[in-house]
Amino acid sequence: MAEIALDTLEKCILAEAQRSRAPKHRCVFEAFEKCIRSGRFKPGERVPAEIELTERLPVGLGTLQKALTKLAERGLVVRNRKTGTYIADRRSQVTEVYVYRFKDPETGELLMPFVRALSVTVEDAPGPWQTALNVERYVRIDRLVWVEQDPPAFSSLFLSYEHGRDLLNMPVEELHGSSCHRVLIERFNLPTLRMEHKVRCRALSDRACDHLRLSPATAGLVWDVKDFSFDDMPNLFQRFEMPPGHRPMELEETISG
């Protein structure tokens, strides 16, 4: 994976520091943002590890961490303990969303989320997804989902092995921004016709805390969604683990007929 050009970033940081009297972490943030907005840093490019950045750039670790945190909050970079930090890819924004979508509180505009896949695995561990899908073996897709300028939530999506096995052979990068609802419609003619929601406040899973960079057992909102298709057949189970400070949920129900 290509990395950002650190010499370009260093020049931008020095220019910002000379131009502005803002705190140094703000100058670093502004330099990063300009490089991203101008296209000098490309979507998907990797940002080197924090230690390497402090060795190459005229900034301390605390300053750098503050800037990176702000960039992640603005949706300009995605940070992950295991895979590192990289420039957010606009192509990972989902254009068709059934569940995790929000409205701008001021304009009412529908805000579509970004989705970055983390892993695709076959599992048989018991859980509500196994019961809901009535299967022993299933395909699990772990993802980060977020609305621009918001911190991410952790999402796990579960399909029967029959419906999800083809995804196991795909590079995980090809699942960024993908819609499993669309896969079920196009490959199996299984549209989602009904959903059941269950929301509760509880400790987030170890896996979610790890990927969201939270302390173990951090309390948050856990949102389970069961999808049903023809003949009320369950075809999908989704779990969203939302950290403290996540924007409020708003469920809107439409009754037809």
Asked whether the predicted pLDDT for residue 211 surpasses 80, the reply is yes
Q: What CATH number labels 113-242?
A: 3.40.1410.10
Give mean pLDDT, residues 175-188: 83
How far apart (Å, rounded) are the C-alpha atoms in residues 13 and 24?
Answer: 9
């800037």: which residue's tokens?
67
Give mean pLDDT, residues 74-79: 78
Helix segments in 114-188, DSSP class H: 128-133, 161-164, 180-188
Rg (CA), the chain: 20
Asked whether the predicted pLDDT for residue 194 surpasses 60, the reply is yes
pTM value is 0.70
* Chain centre distance of CA 122: 21
Pairing verdict, β 219-228 and 46-47: unpaired
Please state the domain extents for the chain.
6-88, 113-242
Asked whether the predicted pLDDT for residue 90 surpasses 70, the reply is no
């939270």: which residue's tokens?
214
Convert 44-80 to b/e letters by CB count within 10 Å (16 or more is b).
bbebbeeeebbeebebeeebbbbbbbbbbebbbbbbb
Q: Report the share of the chain in percent with pLDDT over 70.
A: 93
β strands within 60-203, DSSP E: 77-80, 84-87, 102-103, 110-111, 114-123, 138-146, 153-160, 194-203
How confident is the model over 38-48, as pLDDT tens digits? 888 988 888 99
Report helix, strand or coil for 173.
helix
Helix segments in 49-202, DSSP class H: 50-56, 61-73, 128-133, 161-164, 180-188
How confident is the model over 122-175, as pLDDT tens digits? 999 999 999 999 999 999 999 998 887 778 899 999 999 999 998 998 888 888
Q: Please give the pLDDT value at position 256.
A: 46
How far apart (Å, rounded) are the C-alpha atoms in residues 85 and 41?
Answer: 13
The tokens for 52 are 């390497």
pLDDT higher at 250 or 206: 206
CATH topology for the 6-88 domain = Arc Repressor Mutant, subunit A (1.10.10)
Query: Which of 91-105, 157-171, 243-257 is the most confident on average?
Result: 157-171
pLDDT higher at 104 or 128: 128
Asked whether the predicted pLDDT for residue 257 surpasses 60, the reply is no
Helix segments in 106-146, DSSP class H: 128-133
Indicate the range of 5-14, 51-60, 65-74, 85-94 predicted with least confidence.
85-94
Asked whether the predicted pLDDT for residue 22 surpasses 80, the reply is yes
